[in-house]
Amino acid sequence: MKKIIGMYHTQQQHWVGDGFHVRTLFSYSQLGQSLSPFLLLDYAAPEYFSPTKTPRGVGSHPHRGFETVTLAYKGEVAHKDSRGGGGTIQTGDVQWMTAGAGLLHEEFHSEAFSVQGGELEMVQFWVNLPAKDKMTEGKYQAIRAADIPVIKLDDAGSYLRVVAGEYIGNVGPARTFSPVNMWDGVLTPHQQHAFQAPQGHTTLLVVLSGEVEVNGMQTVQANSIILFDRHDEQAFVMHANAEAKFVILTGEPLNEPIQGYGPFVMNTQQEIMQAFQDFNNGQFGEMN
């Protein structure tokens, strides 16, 4: 079975704006190249928001050098950016935004969700861009739940969605700059399944809720990640002790320097300084 080289768990939460109460389950600032091409993952566990006429969220802010990927499990989020991208991320949808050379964007609870109130549950992770693509033009992929292949894993209700990459012949709709697989799903209680990741890929299992046993030896609770050996050809086995919601990320390591500061992730400190200069000079566009 695929060798486990690390397990990380957190219960610490912090607010992003006033609309997203998240746990940062992993970050390049702690784990560095071992995560490449992935940089960070924030999980907003189910939380009730009371009705309001003023949508909660995060106002206009910049990004450069990477992509943000947002999965909506409950609730709705309205997105808008300075390159003209935008729309409402509804339950089951995925937003894949390429910041590239730089853009501004904002994320707020949708107007309808704000007025009605309800539970919000979301995941956002960052995918690094190869050095040759860091200054690509920003773009926005709105991926609807109906367009994501769903694989039935058993007769008990377990399933896997293929958002990016490929899984047993099912190809996800997301377009990526480097080889990346992104699968999310649910494993129902007492069900077990083996997952095969490409050899050489960074492979992460993110357990959002429930409890699983990995490879018959490691119990993993909610708000945890498992990092596997890249060079191990074997599959890993996941058994659900309780209904588990999870994300599996695999990607070809970029093997390039990582230099990040706040909303910018580049390859050198000089490029970070240039990003701040370009942002301050208005080169990231304007929010309309």
Q: pLDDT tens, 83-92?
A: 888 899 999 9
- Residue whose pair of structure tokens reads 């990927």 in the numeric block: 69
Q: pLDDT tens, 227-271?
A: 999 998 889 999 999 999 999 999 999 999 999 999 999 999 999
Pair 180, 253: CB distance under 8 Å: no
Q: pLDDT tens, 162-217?
A: 999 999 999 999 999 999 999 999 999 999 999 999 999 999 999 999 999 999 99
pTM: 0.97
d(CA 110, CA 133): 32
pLDDT at 29: 93
pLDDT at 205: 98
Q: Is 52 helix (H, G, I), strand (E, B) or coil?
A: coil
Pair 1, 234: CB distance under 8 Å: yes
d(CA 288, CA 261): 26
Q: Which of 248, 266, 48 is nearest to 162 (CA)?
A: 248
Q: DSSP per residue over 182-193, as a string?
A: EEEEEE-TT-EE
Mean pLDDT of 105-128: 97
d(CA 210, CA 221): 6
pLDDT at 65: 98
Pair 189, 242: CB distance under 8 Å: yes
- Residue whose pair of structure tokens reads 């699968």 in the numeric block: 183
The CB-side HSE value for 254 (13 A sphere, CA atoms) comes to 24
Residue 150's pLDDT band (cuts 50, 70, 90):
very high
